Amino acid sequence: MAFEEIHSRAISEWESLQSSSKPRILVGAGTCGRAAGALGILEAINKELTQRKVEAVITQVGCLGLCYAEPMIGIIKPGYPQIIYGNLTPKLAAQLIDDYLVSDNPRPDLALGYIGDSKINGIPNLFELPVLKPQVRIILRNCGFIDPENINHYIANEGYSGLVKALKMTPEAIIEEIKKSGLRGRGGAGFSTGQKWDSCRTAPGGEKYIICNADEGDPGAFMNRALLEGDPHSVLEGIVIGAYAIGANQGYIYCRAEYPLALERLRLALHQMEECGLIGDNILDSGFNFHIKIKEGAGAFVCGEETALMASIEGKRGMPRPRPPFPAISGLWGKPTNINNVETWANAALILQRGSEWYAQYGSERSKGTKTFALVGKVELTGLIEVPLGITLGEIIYDIGGGILKGKGFKAVQTGGPSGGCLPASMLNSPVDYESLTAAGSIMGSGGMIVADEDTCMVDLTKYFLSFTQAESCGKCPPCRVGTRQMLGILERITQGEGKPGDIEQLEKLANTVKQSALCGLGQTAPNPVLTTIRYFRDEYEAHINEKRCPALVCKDLISFYILPDKCQGCMICLRNCPVEAISGGKRLVHVIDQDKCVKCGTCLDVCPPRFAAVAKVSGEQIEVPQQPTPIGKSV
């Protein structure tokens, strides 16, 4: 079948869907949606439709990126724009079918926004919402709107037009186009993608390999998963284009096994591509052969490092090896290999579809295009976002993220996952691009963005990242294997109140040793959380070490709970809820916490009625309280 034929078939399917006389319901059923209960919603909707004898077209779509509002559905009633509803329950969803499809009440109270030109009273335009307005969703353009399990949906929305174009170009011209777009690796290191392709293309050797790195392992990062689940073909198209440009006939997608839905959709997508002649031998009659194998990772963080990833594909233990030789010269099985991250491949496809000039309009001088981030942590509106590079951290956190949760103060934002750094409020005006983040001591990384509020202890947060990197170290080189453990040991001591003068200096020394001498990127960047938190939050370290005080009141060994005698009303709620029976008291008696028994769980603080507010959490100070329960009102 020629591509024109495939294309027109896809267009007609898509158009008939758009002009369908039946209402359409889009259920966001990515892993995130499912975790929030999307499948229950789906079941409720189906049941309600059957009961009400309403015919509707239901499609499971990928993630729209508004994690805070999951589970979500979209309803397109013929003649009306699509309305997106969020924070649903099965009951609410069923009610919605009744109200909107049977009755005609669009329920503005449940709606997040509408999509399209005509307006619906009481419902805002979705893309005018503060959370979406600053975003530029070009990589995620299809996520949440097309059926990821139907190749025709992708094709009808410009899909594979980039590949068709590419196959008529010379490989050199494709690489030139990528270079002109200014695309840089979205895996985090930010190397020029065009240059990378070029060096693999010109590397001597007949057999070459292409690898898609889908081993997304940063804690709190899920950009690649959402893209693979919501629009797998956008990635696959990029891979085929890259293979053609480089001259590879075999590709691998290294995807973590913890992404079962993404894997399922990838397999299905590959099958559909095969049927359409978009992969396999003689792709679209171009004479170009290319095959893809999927390799499931087994949950080692280090396998996201490209040389470890290749070792893993080869069936060896995933351990990095030193460069040179670079993978472009000697990669998988010693052959020239080009490895890019999921998002990079999707960008490549888009660049070919719409041209490098169009693409380069987005972004900053040296960082072109957009970047997806998983915005998580203490922000109001967590989600999967896509922003033009060059946007400031503040815009992301306050405009898109809606500010800090519960109106608390901002403390830091951690970019780049465990390899990145923690940036303070003074950096909020700093643009998000490769150079600026690096200059600030962090990295772009693959797109994790974790926001910490004023209640976060930076030493404790650093300890968390270090415990992750030290546990995930492959163990090959001593700086990473032992260095991270030593740093973790010191951090543990500090948070336990056993910090000593000189600890900060020793941490810095260790961090620099590891940074300079570790074998791979994982090890070289592992000290970044330590270095940045010392750089920006040194006072917190000093408070822990010198004053045995945790300013954020987090580190259990450094905090105490007291019941304030002048506020306690002797209601006994705290006494009954204390899990370790550390509180003594009685009716109308001022309660007392036995500090030796207390495990600092904070239950007393949580349960004390706010009107009393009799429990105090302090660090570095002692509050004078009675030794024994005493009647209320009597002075100490």
* Interface with another protein (CB under 8 A): 300, 302, 317, 319, 321-322, 324, 470-479, 481-486, 489-490, 506, 509-510, 513, 516-519
| CB closer to another protein, 255 vs 510 | 510
Give helix 503-517 / helix 528-546 axis angle, nearest 10°.
Answer: 170
Shortest reach from residue 185's CB to another protein, in Å: 17
Q: How far is residue 35 CA from its own chain's centroid?
A: 15
Shortest reach from residue 163's CB to another protein, in Å: 35
Q: CA end-to-end span of the chain, whole Å?
A: 91
- Give, as one character, the DSSP assignment of residue 479: H
Q: Which residue has the tokens 């306050």?
A: 398
Shortest reach from residue 537's CB to another protein, in Å: 23
d(CA 158, CA 616): 60
Sign of the torsion formed by the C-alpha atoms of 311, 348, 428 and 379:
negative
Nearest residue to 327 (alpha-carbon basis) of 311, 349, 346 = 311
Shortest reach from residue 239's CB to another protein, in Å: 29
Is residue 430 a contact partner of residue 466, using CB atoms and an 8 Å limit? no
| CB closer to another protein, 419 vs 486 | 486
Is residue 235 a contact partner of residue 212, using CB atoms and an 8 Å limit? yes
Three-state DSSP state, 298: coil
Shortest reach from residue 175's CB to another protein, in Å: 24
Nearest residue to 524 (alpha-carbon basis) of 558, 565, 477, 490 = 477
Question: DSSP for 559-621?
Answer: EEEEE-TTT-----HHHHH-TT--EE--TTEE-EE-TTT-----HHHHHS-TTT--EEEEES-
| CB closer to another protein, 87 vs 195 | 195
d(CA 38, CA 63): 11
Shortest reach from residue 254's CB to another protein, in Å: 18
Shortest reach from residue 476's CB to another protein, in Å: 5
Strands 337-341 and 24-28: unpaired
d(CA 68, CA 85): 12
Task: Spell out the residues 6+ positions from residue 420 whose beta carbon is closer than 8 angstroms to its own.
Answer: 414, 437, 442, 443, 445, 448, 525, 528, 529
Shortest reach from residue 494's CB to another protein, in Å: 13
d(CA 473, CA 467): 10
| CB closer to another protein, 325 vs 355 | 325
Shortest reach from residue 519's CB to another protein, in Å: 6
Is residue 10 a contact partner of residue 156, using CB atoms and an 8 Å limit? yes
| CB closer to another protein, 516 vs 546 | 516
Sign of the torsion formed by the C-alpha atoms of 69, 73, 75 and 76:
positive
Element (H, E) at 411: strand 410-415
| CB closer to another protein, 72 vs 487 | 487
Shortest reach from residue 433's CB to another protein, in Å: 21
Shortest reach from residue 315's CB to another protein, in Å: 11
Shortest reach from residue 14's CB to another protein, in Å: 47
| CB closer to another protein, 123 vs 507 | 507
| CB closer to another protein, 96 vs 477 | 477
| CB closer to another protein, 270 vs 519 | 519
CA distances from 419 to 94, 324, 431 (A): 45, 22, 19
- Give, as one character, the DSSP assignment of residue 203: S
Shortest reach from residue 206's CB to another protein, in Å: 15
Q: Which amino acid is at 372?
A: T
Strands 24-28 and 73-76: antiparallel
d(CA 356, CA 464): 41
d(CA 289, CA 528): 43
Shortest reach from residue 446's CB to another protein, in Å: 20
| CB closer to another protein, 198 vs 503 | 503
Is residue 223 a contact partner of residue 259, using CB atoms and an 8 Å limit? no
| CB closer to another protein, 84 vs 519 | 519
| CB closer to another protein, 79 vs 315 | 315
| CB closer to another protein, 152 vs 486 | 486
Cα-based angle 464, 417, 257 (whole degrees, multiple of 5): 95
| CB closer to another protein, 295 vs 481 | 481
Query: In the structure encoding, which two tokens stand for residue 67, read together?
Result: 């994690």
